[in-house]
Chain A
């Protein structure tokens, strides 16, 4: 077999390597365009585009810290909600669900991930938000309001609402990642567990600890997906240029800011500031991917 491998590697692969080159060139071109158009703002304001919370077109100063902060908060909150749900549902599907139900749930799982995001956004703004705000969110504020994360009164859009909608969107993806890794636990180990007379509960615990590292990788991947979500978050996060410790406060994220304001930006600096924020997203995404790869590689999965 090794002989065959050597032969293939020595052949020429013009078309397929050309394909990869084209794809890489597309991505490279996009990156170059982003950098090129970000330069004016970066040169003018330096890193304060990312670190200052002062977005003032009138003064021609664009400090997008509120958006950077909001992006992190919403994504982190979303993954905090999504991960337990993803792990829980993955375990249920693999361990407890009868065959027919399993097939059904797996099918639904993937369809959910494909539903257009504009629909999630509307549902979040017009149906889900008005339901959650006066009930769960108000309860959190009234009863746990001494905690900084629940210290403001919910007024409609908030980090938490956006995070919840985002969690609903990324849980299916995260769940399928967990499922794949879960199924990958070696049969020998599983048989060994039951041979020792351990219960299902113990089996689950052991499997989880076995794949723990891969879970981390899955988490990074799902988080990366969540960071880039635009429409659904823009409609539910509250659109306020604010930095707040409270999850119930309105805020803004980078993709939402870009979607909201790119159409009305008529100065080069404003467009450039928005694109430099997009560049930051690119870099963050790259970081998460690399981290996920390193973690997963060590965990042995994929």
Chain B
């Protein structure tokens, strides 16, 4: 007599296989191209997988919910796994849209074009890097320059009463206290934006060889006065706990939590500017449109286009967050869904931003939408020609 356990095992195995087969087929059915007929967005049933940047995640939740109420059949998931993983997984085909706080590096862009042919890149929102500090007894706003920040994080400026600092902050008697420099422990687009800006703006930074990236080797760590906090929350916690410390956070984080921020000198104008929605907009609105790349281009060389803008009241450390997706599709339902989502983000989505997330100038957004409508294609045809019904 065959053991009852074995029979049970076989039954369970058959059950599992049938369920799996059903699901795979069911999922597969939903994603096949519509063929020659026009696609009615209201009747679309597609799943889009997106992921990457943690900075854009709260905003993504808002966008996804709003978009889903417009198109209930399009289901979008977003994983805040990190900008690097977002792009890597886009290349691995795990995500349909990869989000990163800096455009994907040129090497990866070239890999992406090898895999997908063409890739579209758009900025989805703009942010800025703000400095917070904990100086007992200090009132008012701390002034900083790129060289001072570079000096602090490379360990060349170690004490608060350093002449570089006191020169531009008269009116406060700084004691001879060690500066505790707080940075990010996790890989972060904020770090990338800051270090890229320092590379552009400070000879001290350039000659230190630290460079720029999601993660850098902070020389101040080796001195024992550097700390890495997890997320802007971690950085803020360390700054709050330590008198005589300084750290950097995302602008939206500083605004929502009412943190006192430092004024940073814009190298292009010499002005000391306090980071805020307005000062970031001042920078954005003065960007030369003709300098912008198209959606099909490699945006990495343009990562710093929003920085050091020569305009009144323009904050210098400004960077965007970006979305990448393949440009050409064979699955027209997916192509339409992705186009609609990106278009929504560039248009209506820019009016549904959380506090501290800065909108794109409308001229820029419009230019990008126009390009997307031609450059996202399915089976050779621009996706807009497929929408109807």
A is bound by B: yes
Known: A58-B212, A58-B213, A125-B234. A264 touches B186 (CB 8 A): yes
Beyond A15-B9, A152-B224, A263-B82: 16 further Cβ-contacts under 8 Å? A15-B6, A55-B215, A58-B217, A239-B229, A239-B230, A240-B185, A241-B228, A250-B226, A250-B228, A261-B214, A263-B85, A264-B84, A266-B83, A266-B105, A266-B214, A267-B107
* Residue-wise interface mask of B (224-247) relative to A, using a CB-CB cutoff of 8 A (1 in contact, 0 not): 111111100010011001100100
In chain B between 42 and 101, which residues have their CB closer than 8 angstroms to a CB of chain A? 54, 81-85, 87-88
- Asked if B329 is an interface residue, CB under 8 A from chain A, the answer is no
CB distance from B197 to the nearest CB of A (A): 15
B234/A235 in contact, CB under 8 A: yes
Which residues of B have CB within 8 Å of A152?
224
Known: A260-B187, A262-B85. A240 touches B105 (CB 8 A): no
Cα(A130)–Cα(B241), bound, Å: 7
- Asked if A265 is an interface residue, CB under 8 A from chain B, the answer is yes
Known: A242-B222, A263-B85. A58 touches B210 (CB 8 A): yes
CB distance from A276 to the nearest CB of B (A): 17
Which residues of B have CB within 8 Å of A157?
227-229, 238
In chain B between 99 and 140, which residues have their CB closer than 8 angstroms to a CB of chain A? 104-105, 107-108
- Asked if A92 is an interface residue, CB under 8 A from chain B, the answer is no
A266/B227 in contact, CB under 8 A: no
Cα(A190)–Cα(B226), bound, Å: 55
Which residues of A have CB within 8 Å of B353?
none
- Asked if A246 is an interface residue, CB under 8 A from chain B, the answer is yes
Known: A130-B241, A261-B187, A266-B105. A242 touches B84 (CB 8 A): no
Cα(A280)–Cα(B238), bound, Å: 31
- Asked if B321 is an interface residue, CB under 8 A from chain A, the answer is no
CB distance from B106 to the nearest CB of A (A): 12
Cα(A236)–Cα(B228), bound, Å: 10
Which residues of A have CB within 8 Å of B185?
234, 238-240, 252, 256, 260
* Residue-wise interface mask of A (31-60) relative to B, using a CB-CB cutoff of 8 A (1 in contact, 0 not): 000000000000000000000001111110
Which residues of B have CB within 8 Å of A239?
184-186, 227-230, 234
Cα(A164)–Cα(B188), bound, Å: 28
CB < 8 Å: which of B81, B184, B234, B245 contacts A263? B81
Cα(A242)–Cα(B218), bound, Å: 9
CB distance from B138 to the nearest CB of A (A): 19
B217/A56 in contact, CB under 8 A: yes
Count residues of chain A with CB under 8 A from any CB of chain B. Answer: 41
* Residue-wise interface mask of A (258-281) relative to B, using a CB-CB cutoff of 8 A (1 in contact, 0 not): 011111111100110000000000
- Please give the residue numbers on chain B whose beta carbons come within 8 Å of chain A beta carbons, in ascending order: 5-6, 9, 54, 81-85, 87-88, 104-105, 107-108, 178, 180, 184-188, 209-218, 221-222, 224-230, 234, 237-238, 241-242, 245
Cα(A235)–Cα(B211), bound, Å: 26
Which residues of A have CB within 8 Å of B210?
58
| Most chain A C-beta atoms within 10 Å of own C-beta, residue among B83, B210, B228 | B228
CB distance from A244 to the nearest CB of B (A): 6
CB < 8 Å: which of B108, B180, B237 contacts A125? B237
> A243: nearest residue on chain B (CB-CB)?
B222
CB distance from B374 to the nearest CB of A (A): 29
A264/B85 in contact, CB under 8 A: yes
Known: A15-B9, A264-B84. A57 touches B224 (CB 8 A): no
- Asked if A156 is an interface residue, CB under 8 A from chain B, the answer is yes
CB distance from A158 to the nearest CB of B (A): 9
CB < 8 Å: which of B184, B213, B230, B242 contacts A155? B242
B245/A57 in contact, CB under 8 A: no
CB < 8 Å: which of A59, A126, A249 contacts B211? A59
B227/A240 in contact, CB under 8 A: yes
CB < 8 Å: which of B108, B226, B234, B242 contacts A266? B108
> B223: nearest residue on chain A (CB-CB)?
A242
Cα(A256)–Cα(B230), bound, Å: 10
- Asked if A175 is an interface residue, CB under 8 A from chain B, the answer is no
In chain A between 44 and 91, which residues have their CB closer than 8 angstroms to a CB of chain B? 54-59
Which residues of A have CB within 8 Å of B184?
239
Cα(A241)–Cα(B227), bound, Å: 9
Cα(A31)–Cα(B135), bound, Å: 49
In chain A between 109 and 162, which residues have their CB closer than 8 angstroms to a CB of chain B? 125-126, 129-130, 133, 152-153, 155-157
Cα(A234)–Cα(B185), bound, Å: 9
| Most chain A C-beta atoms within 10 Å of own C-beta, residue among B6, B85, B104 | B85
A263/B180 in contact, CB under 8 A: no
CB distance from A17 to the nearest CB of B (A): 14
Which residues of B have CB within 8 Å of A55?
215, 217
B216/A58 in contact, CB under 8 A: yes
B87/A266 in contact, CB under 8 A: yes
Which residues of B have CB within 8 Å of A244?
224
B221/A263 in contact, CB under 8 A: no
> A63: nearest residue on chain B (CB-CB)?
B217
Kindly list the 8 A-B residue pairs having the minimum CB-CB distance in the complex, ordered from nearest. Answer: A263-B82, A264-B187, A239-B228, A239-B185, A58-B211, A266-B84, A264-B214, A264-B84
Cα(A200)–Cα(B83), bound, Å: 61
CB distance from A179 to the nearest CB of B (A): 36
